[in-house]
């Protein structure tokens, strides 16, 4: 039973006749034998030519083994074969189970049976076998009666001649009578066809069919009929129009018929179309039939700011091979509006497809918003979707993101956030991210200060992490001093644990008279699962340069300090350089000293170096002396050396000496003549 609800009629629901379904035939016995096994093998073979169906019968037995009812089934094939459980430990009867699928079951003698298969019939094979057996028995009996038949043959010849003459006369009379009857029958048939055609035309006119053209002809080729027409009708207030046509032929070869129709309807924004055709033929080869159709509808509607589009279509075909069909539907909606200074756009849609291979459906929605809210510029977007597939299962996803930025005085602020989630057969997966940042810049006196701060957060199935950062920079001038400073700090937490850091640095330099002074300092500290780590550095340096008479003097001095978890080191250094001219003497001198303290212990050093050159007549005198001293954990170390030479006319003579606390004194005299 197929229920159908008719629009506008609520008194009851129509109960239509649908397809009859037959259960499979299940056989259980000790052994089925080779015949059924061969039938099964036809459908698990790679040779398509072996795919032959069969007919069969189920006989119900009564008392004394007498058949009381016979059920026949058609177009069957063995779809399942279960062997026994081969268990040598059990003492049980081995039972085979065979399952047969078929296309019709009927009780013999109760009316017409379902159409039989065009394939070879099992019942026919049995009948042929029975006929062959009877023929063999008749042949045996005939052999014994050959002698009697020979005597009767002569008598039969005379009788046969008389019978032949009588048959000829009877045949002629029957032929003449048949011709007269055929003419009368043809006239009567043509008259009946004419009257039936008029009745059909009247019925079609009442049904709203226009341009109806029924044509029926009767001839040697059989009966041919053709009918077609256009129809227009108002169904439940909806105008429907279309065209129908049909053709049929009946002759000695069988019956063939085909029909087709199409229709259109329009109700407001909805437009629909449908078309169908069917054909059937009955001949000695069996019954063949097919029917197919398709329908579609679409609508475009504007409801305020919303534009809606929908369309749907369906196709189907039924023939001797089975039934196929598909259904498709689609709907979309779009809107755009101005809401409180925001431009909002949204779209939504859904699709569905189904056929004999499976079904697929999907639906989605997305929206965007952009505009200004107070001093803030805002952008946001979101979308979500879900799909359902008969093979791949159900999947769903959704995501959203937003951005905002604003300028408040000297400060710029931005914020971002996004999140997404998916779900499928592997589980649910998602993540979320958010961040905010601020930046400001201002002038305080002669100093420009810039500061930035921000925070971020992330969450997914692996865990959550968050971080915050801040940094500042100042640069300016305070009197003769140029200065700049930086500071930063941050912290984070996540699957790897918590971390934090902070650092600060500064620099200053100034020019005071002939002296340039600069200083640097920085410090930093970090903390994580390994512990707390920090370091600090500071340094100061001064450089001066001046002219005293004919002498130029340059001096430099500096100090540095470094500290971390390994220890502290400090050092101080100073050096001076002087050069000039005193009378005929050109001279220069250098001196340096320094000290440091650290994990290697204290250390100090001193260096001095002097050189002079004097021209006395043709003689040039050169003097070069130097000394070095250092103190460390190994003791005091000293070293001094000197070189004096005189040169005139390309000839040179001199002396060199060296004294060290770590070696014996050295000296030598040299000349080149």
* End-to-end C-alpha distance for the chain, whole angstroms: 138
Cα separation, 30 vs 40, in Å, equals 17
pTM of this structure: 0.54
pLDDT, position 209: 66
Q: How far is CA 259 from CA 246, 283, 359, 572, in A?
A: 4, 19, 31, 112
Of the pLDDT bands very low, low, confident and very high (cuts 50, 70, 90), residue 289 is: confident
Q: What is the CA radius of gyration of the chain?
A: 58
291 backbone dihedrals φ, ψ, rounded to 5°: -145, 135
Question: In this structure, are residues 666 and 658 in contact, taking their beta carbons and an 8 Å threshold?
Answer: yes
- Residues facing residue 380 across a β-bridge: 369, 402
The tally of CA atoms less than 13 A away on the side-chain side of residue 25 is: 19
- Would you state the structure tokens that stand for residue 367, as one six-digit string? 């929206």
Is pLDDT of 7 > 70?
yes
| pLDDT tens-digit readout, 96-129 | 999 999 999 999 876 554 554 444 444 344 333 3
Is pLDDT of 130 > 50?
no
| pLDDT tens-digit readout, 317-342 | 988 777 888 989 999 999 988 887 78
pLDDT, position 304: 80
174 backbone dihedrals φ, ψ, rounded to 5°: -65, -35
Beta strand 531-548 with 96-101 is unpaired
Is pLDDT of 162 > 60?
no
Q: What does the pLDDT average to over 59-82?
A: 93
SS3 assignment, position 42: coil
Cα separation, 616 vs 636, in Å, equals 41
- Would you state the structure tokens that stand for residue 474, as one six-digit string? 């100042």
* Closest listed residue to residue 369, CA positions, set 345, 399, 385, 352: 345
598 backbone dihedrals φ, ψ, rounded to 5°: -170, -165
Residue 601, sorted as left (phi over 0), alpha (psi -120 to 50) or beta, turns out to be: left
Of the pLDDT bands very low, low, confident and very high (cuts 50, 70, 90), residue 659 is: very high
Is pLDDT of 608 > 70?
yes
Of the pLDDT bands very low, low, confident and very high (cuts 50, 70, 90), residue 390 is: confident
Is pLDDT of 507 > 50?
yes
Helix axes 146-206, 122-144, angle to 10 degrees: 150
pLDDT, position 133: 37
* Closest listed residue to residue 395, CA positions, set 422, 365, 364: 422
pLDDT, position 179: 65
pLDDT, position 135: 37
Q: How far is CA 82 from CA 37, 41, 97, 165, 223, in A?
A: 11, 13, 5, 67, 53
| pLDDT tens-digit readout, 439-466 | 999 888 889 999 999 999 999 988 899 9
Of the pLDDT bands very low, low, confident and very high (cuts 50, 70, 90), residue 616 is: confident
- Would you state the structure tokens that stand for residue 99, as one six-digit string? 């399952």
pLDDT, position 480: 87
All residues at 6 or more sequence positions from 518 whose CB lies less than 8 Å from its CB, including other chains: 507, 508, 509, 510, 540, 541, 542
Sign of CA dihedral 102, 108, 114, 116: positive
In 87-244, which residue ranges form alpha helices assigned H by DSSP?
122-144, 146-206
pLDDT, position 142: 36
C-alpha angle 60/66/71, rounded to 5°? 25
Question: In this structure, are residues 506 and 484 in contact, taking their beta carbons and an 8 Å threshold?
Answer: yes
SS3 assignment, position 8: coil
Of the pLDDT bands very low, low, confident and very high (cuts 50, 70, 90), residue 164 is: low
Cα separation, 472 vs 64, in Å, equals 111
- Would you state the structure tokens that stand for residue 175, as one six-digit string? 């032929």
Residue with tokens 């094979």: 125
- Would you state the structure tokens that stand for residue 627, as one six-digit string? 């000394």
* Closest listed residue to residue 232, CA positions, set 207, 251, 215: 207
Q: What's the whole-number average pLDDT of the chain? A: 83
Say what the alpha-carbon torsion angle 441, 442, 448, 450 is, to the nearest 10 degrees: -20
- Would you state the structure tokens that stand for residue 653, as one six-digit string? 């003579």
Of the pLDDT bands very low, low, confident and very high (cuts 50, 70, 90), residue 197 is: low
| pLDDT tens-digit readout, 340-375 | 778 899 999 999 998 888 889 999 999 999 998 888
pLDDT, position 624: 92
Q: What does the pLDDT average to over 181-203?
A: 63
| pLDDT tens-digit readout, 14-27 | 999 999 899 999 99
The more confident residue out of 44 and 627 is: 627
The more confident residue out of 58 and 42 is: 58
Q: What does the pLDDT average to over 496-502?
A: 91
Beta strand 651-660 with 635-648 is antiparallel
Cα separation, 271 vs 263, in Å, equals 11
């Amino acid at each position: 039973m197929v229920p159908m609800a008719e629009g506008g009629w609520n008194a009851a629901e129509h109960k239509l006749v649908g397809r009859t379904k037959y259960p499979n035939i299940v056989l259980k016995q000790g052994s089925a034998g080779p015949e059924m096994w061969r039938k099964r093998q036809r459908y698990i073979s790679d040779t398509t030519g072996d795919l032959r169906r069969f007919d069969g019968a189920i006989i119900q037995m009564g008392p004394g083994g007498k058949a009381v009812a016979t059920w026949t089934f058609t177009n069957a094939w063995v779809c399942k074969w279960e062997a026994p459980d081969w268990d040598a430990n059990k003492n049980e009867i081995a039972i085979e189970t065979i399952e047969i699928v078929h296309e019709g079951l009927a009780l013999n003698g109760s009316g017409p049976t379902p159409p039989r298969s065009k394939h070879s019939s099992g019942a026919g094979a049995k009948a042929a076998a029975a006929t062959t057996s009877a023929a063999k028995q008749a042949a045996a009996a005939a052999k014994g009666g050959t002698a009697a038949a020979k005597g009767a043959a002569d008598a039969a010849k005379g009788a046969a001649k008389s019978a032949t003459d009588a048959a000829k006369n009877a045949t002629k009379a029957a032929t003449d009578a048949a011709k007269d009857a055929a003419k009368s029958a043809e006239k009567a048939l043509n008259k009946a066809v004419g009257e039936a055609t008029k009745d059909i035309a009247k019925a079609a006119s009442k049904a709203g069919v226009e341009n109806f053209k029924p044509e029926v002809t009767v001839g040697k080729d059989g009966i041919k009929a053709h009918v077609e027409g256009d129809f227009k009708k108002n169904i439940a207030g909806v105008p429907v129009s279309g065209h129908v046509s049909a053709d049929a032929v009946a002759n000695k070869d069988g019956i063939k018929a085909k029909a087709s129709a199409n229709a259109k309807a329009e109700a407001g924004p909805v437009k629909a179309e449908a078309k169908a055709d069917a054909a059937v033929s009955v001949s000695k080869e069996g019954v063949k039939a097919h029917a197919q159709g398709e329908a579609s509808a679409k609508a475009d509607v504007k409801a305020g700011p919303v534009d809606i589009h929908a369309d749907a279509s369906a196709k189907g075909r039924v023939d001797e091979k089975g039934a196929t069909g598909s259904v498709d539907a689609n709907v979309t909606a779009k809107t755009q509006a101005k809401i409180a200074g925001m431009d909002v756009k949204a779209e939504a849609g859904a699709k569905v497809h189904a056929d004999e291979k499976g079904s697929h459906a999907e639906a989605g929605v997305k929206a965007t918003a952009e505009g200004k809210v107070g001093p803030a510029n805002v952008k946001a977007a979101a979308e979500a979707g879900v799909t359902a597939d008969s093979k791949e299962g159900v999947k769903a996803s959704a995501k959203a993101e937003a951005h905002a930025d604003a300028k408040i005085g000297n400060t710029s602020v931005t914020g971002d956030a996004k999140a997404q989630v998916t779900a499928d057969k592997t589980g649910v997966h998602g993540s979320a991210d958010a961040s905010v940042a601020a930046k400001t810049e201002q002038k305080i006196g002669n100093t420009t200060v810039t500061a930035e701060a921000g925070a971020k957060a992330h969450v997914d199935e692996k865990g959550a992490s968050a971080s915050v950062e801040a940094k500042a920079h100042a640069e300016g001038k305070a009197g003769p001093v140029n200065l700049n400073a930086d500071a930063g700090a941050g912290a984070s937490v996540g699957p790897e644990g918590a971390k934090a850091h902070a650092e600060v640095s500064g620099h200053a330099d100034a020019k005071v008279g002939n002296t340039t002074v600069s200083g640097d300092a920085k410090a930093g500290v970090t903390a994580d699962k390994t512990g707390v780590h920090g370091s600090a550095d500071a340094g100061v340096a001064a450089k001066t340069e001046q002219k005293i008479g004919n002498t130029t003097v340059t001096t430099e001095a500096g100090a540095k300090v470094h500290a971390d978890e390994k220890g502290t080191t400090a050092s101080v250094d100073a050096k001076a350089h002087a050069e000039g001219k005193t009378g005929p003497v050109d001279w220069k001198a250098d001196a340096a000293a320094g000290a440091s303290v650290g994990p290697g212990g204290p250390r100090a050093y001193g260096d001095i170096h002097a050189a002079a050159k004097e021209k006395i007549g043709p003689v040039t005198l050169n003097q070069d002396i130097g000394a070095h001293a250092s103190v460390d954990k190994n003791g005091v170390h000293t070293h001094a050396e000197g070189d004096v030479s005189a040169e005139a006319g390309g000839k040179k003579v001199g002396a060199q000496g060296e004294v060290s606390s770590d070696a014996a004194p050295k000296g030598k005299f040299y000349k080149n003549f």
